[in-house]
Amino acid sequence: MDLDLGRGEMVVVGASFGSLRWFDDHLPAGSVILVEEPDVIRRRDLERFCAGLPLVSRLVPAEYQTGLDVDALLAREPGLSAARLVLPGLEYAVGATARLAERLGLPNAGTAAADVFADKHRMRLLAGDAGLANPAYELVDDPARAEEFARRHGGRCVLKPTRRSGSLGVQLVTDPAEIASVWAASAAPPEPDEATERGLPTEVLVEQLLAGSEHSVELLVADGETIFANVTDKRIVGGRYPVESGHTVPSALPEPTRRALREAAVRLAEAAGFRSGMLHSEWILADGVPTLVECAGRMPGDMITALISIAYEWDFIEAYLRVLRGERPTAPPARPTGATAVEFLVAPPGRVTAVDGRRAALRVAGVLDVQVDVTVGATVPEVISSAHRSGHVLAWGGDPAEAEGAARKAADQIRFTVA
C-alpha cells in the first residue's frame, strides 16, 4: 500500500484485532493512534497487544460507546488534532468516529447517517421512507407482543437487538411458543469482549422471516457520490442463529439482479445522507425484490474487503483510506478479473481433542489461505455469533462457482474432534 502517513496521522476508534494486524503489515510504523474504552483496554489486554504492533504509536483511553465528549477528548489529547483521517474499527465506534472526524474537519459518514445505521429500527424507518422494501416489522418490549406478531405472520419470525453486530442476538424462530424462553438472548444478549461493561442499551425488533437468497452490497462513497459498488453472495449456517458461513465475490446473480441490488443500496445511502466512507448493506431477494436486512456504516467484516481486493485486483482498503483523507482513489476495474470465496470453519460445541486436515485443505487447487483458530484443549461454544467460528478457508477461481467450490472442498478437509 502506497499511502503517505506520518506519525499519529491516522486515528482508529475501536480495536479490531484482525484489521489492526492487517494495517500493521501495510502502513508505516507509528502512524496509528488507537482510541478504546478503558474497561475494554483492560479486559482485552490491549496494551500488550499494541506493544507487539509497530503500527500503533499510542493507545488512548476514552469512553465513546455510549456517547463521546469530543471537546473533552481533544482537550485531554491535543495530539489527535493532527490526524489526517479517522475511521471506525468496530460497529460500536461508528457514531463516535463521525463526531470526532466532523470536529476535525475530516471526511466521514456524517453524524446523522452514522446514528441511523447504528440503530436497526431507525434504519427500517429510513428505508421505508425511501420506498425500499422492508420485511414486516415491529419494535416490541415484551415476548408476548413478539409472539402475537409471529402468529400474524405464519408462526415464524426473526428476533434481533437493535444495537448489536456480528449476528449477536439475532434468532430465527419457527414456533411462537418458544419466544418467551429465548427472549433474553435478543433482549439482553451477552456482551462481546469489545463492548464496554457499562452496557450498550438496545431494544428488540421482531421481523417477518423471509425466504430467499442472501447478499450484501459494498459501497465506497466520496462526498455523497458512490464511486464503487460490489455485490457479494452470502451463505449462513443452519439453525436458529443466522451466522454467516461463507461469502463469494463477485455475486453469481444475473446482471439485472445485481444492478437492482446496487441501485437499492445507493438509494439507501442517499436517503441517509451518507457522505464519505464504506457502507455494507445486507439484503434478501424475496420474490426477486431486494429487501433490506440491515446496514453498517463501516468496513465489512468476514474478509469481504480481501475478497473484493483479490477479485478486482484493486486495493479496496487503500481506496477507502484515501477517501477518508479527502482524495479520489484510483478507479477500480470496470469488472472483476476473477472470483474469490471464503468459507468459515465451524467446529461442533465441546472440548477439542483433535484438529486434522489442514495440509489436505492447502493442497486443494485455488486455495490461498487456511486458518484454524481453535487448538486442542480449547472449548468451543455453540455458534451464536461470528465470533464463535473456528477459522476460515480463502480460495480463488476463474468464476464464482469455481472459487466457492474450492473453498467448500478445502473446508470439508478440516475435521474437528470434540469431547
Checking if the pLDDT of 331 tops 90, the result is no
Checking if the pLDDT of 56 tops 90, the result is yes
Domain with CATH 3.30.1490.20 in the chain: 136-207
Checking if the pLDDT of 401 tops 80, the result is yes
Q: What is the tens place of the pLDDT at every residue in 356-375?
A: 999 999 999 999 999 999 99
136-207 has which fold?
Dna Ligase; domain 1 (3.30.1490)
Domain with CATH 3.40.50.20 in the chain: 10-106
Between residues 227 and 194, the one the model is more confident about: 227
Average pLDDT score over residue span 100-112: 97
Q: What is the tens place of the pLDDT at every residue in 7-47?
A: 999 999 999 999 999 999 999 999 999 999 999 999 999 99
pLDDT band, very low/low/confident/very high, at 396 (cuts 50, 70, 90):
very high
CATH of 10-106, one of 3.40.50.720, 3.40.50.20, 3.90.950.10, 3.30.70.580: 3.40.50.20
Residue 166 confidence (pLDDT): 75
Domain with CATH 3.30.470.20 in the chain: 214-418
CATH number of 214-418: 3.30.470.20
Checking if the pLDDT of 386 tops 90, the result is no
Checking if the pLDDT of 258 tops 90, the result is yes
Checking if the pLDDT of 240 tops 90, the result is no
Residue 393 confidence (pLDDT): 98
Residue 198 confidence (pLDDT): 87
Residue 270 confidence (pLDDT): 98
Checking if the pLDDT of 1 tops 80, the result is no
Checking if the pLDDT of 387 tops 90, the result is no
3-state secondary structure the chain: CCCCCCCCCEEEECCCHHHHHHHHHHCCCCCEEEEECHHHHHHCCHHHHHHCCCCEEEEEECCCCCCCCHHHHHHHCHHHHHCCEEEECCHHHHHHHHHHHHHHCCCCCCHHHHHHHCCHHHHHHHHHHCCCECCCEEEECCHHHHHHHHHHCCCCEEEEECCCCCCCCCEEECCHHHHHHHHHHHHCCCCCCCCCCCCCCCCEEEECCCCCCEEEEEEEEECCEEEEEEEEEEEECCCCCCCEEEEEECCCCCHHHHHHHHHHHHHHHHHHCCCCEEEEEEEEEECCEEEEEEEECCCCCCCHHHHHHHHHCCCHHHHHHHHHCCCCCCCCCCCCCCEEEEEEECCCCEEEEEEECHHHHHCCCCEEEEEECCCCCCEECCCCCHHHCCEEEEEEECCHHHHHHHHHHHHHHCEEEEC
0.85 surpassed by pTM: yes
